[in-house]
Amino acid sequence: MRHTLPIAPQFYVTSPQPCPYLDGRVERKLFTALQGETAAKLNDSLSKQGFRRSQNVLYRPSCTDCSACMSARIKVADFTPSKSQKRVLKRNAHLSRRARSPWATEEQYNLFRDYLDSRHAAGGMADMDMFEFAAMVEETPIRTRLIEYTSASAATELQAVGLTDILNDGVSMVYSFFQPGLDKDSLGTFIILDHIAIARDLGLPYVYLGYWVPGSSKMGYKANFAGVEVHCKDGWAPIGSVDDYDDALHPLSTDPIAEQVARISLPDGQR
């Protein structure tokens, strides 16, 4: 009889690249492969420790210049919509939600391209073709869904899409995109609000939003939701005042890679 011993995940570090969020900074990521029968357990565990999924990889910022990129999540029990968020829900009440398996379609890709061309024409994903988009959507070893938002009255039925992972303690918003030119509808905010409703319906306590970066205008919107927590060196904590994170921008705020890896807690059987 052959017995297969579980192999502990191996962690690697990317080469330094210009930071997409803070001018003059350099980013670096700590990452590991997400594969095999234990992929879901590893994803659940590392998501609670500030990691994010991209296809078959889990990663977390590990920069030498600062520790400003912090994973953010909404504690559903502590969330109450603001007056402006209630107006967003009302403006988008005509949208219908449908959850699909992670299978890319041409309609989704066309919306994705319109979104990138309008909002992120100079970003790192600007040149993605249909095959790369399909890989982003379909290469997932865990429970992932495409959440589509449609309108029967619009010229283009598909209005927004969220690529969403289902974790054991929440829903994780991997990537979302929507019709450009509808700024008054605040579709990005609406997708987050609807994911809070999804998590509540599923009895899950959190909605994982990705990274919040103090000092970055691109990421500032994530602090506008009640119940937001961020993952710092000491674990998860309420975001508090956005003005209290100057230390995170200091070059001495990061620990050596070896110490960061040593603090990572792995699921049983993967240590």
Handedness of CA 218, 170, 194, 74 (dihedral sign): negative
If asked whether residues 124 and 189 sit together in one domain, one would say yes
* Local confidence band at 1 (pLDDT 50, 70, 90 cut-offs): very low
If asked whether residues 83 and 188 sit together in one domain, one would say yes
Condensed to tens digits (0 to 9), the pLDDT of residues 249-259 reads 777 777 888 88
If asked whether residues 172 and 191 sit together in one domain, one would say yes
Pure H helices in the chain: 39-47, 83-91, 106-119, 130-138, 187-202, 257-262
267 or 56: which leads in pLDDT: 56
If asked whether residues 153 and 30 sit together in one domain, one would say no
Q: Give phi and psi for 237, each to the nearest 5.
A: -155, 150
Q: What's the structural domain count of the chain?
A: 2
If asked whether residues 35 and 93 sit together in one domain, one would say no
Condensed to tens digits (0 to 9), the pLDDT of residues 129-155 reads 999 999 999 999 999 999 999 998 776
pTM (2 d.p.): 0.91
**In the chain, what percentage of residues exceed pLDDT 90?**
62
| Highest mean pLDDT, choosing among 9-18, 103-112, 177-186 | 103-112
Q: Give the structural domain span for 204.
A: 72-246
If asked whether residues 224 and 127 sit together in one domain, one would say yes
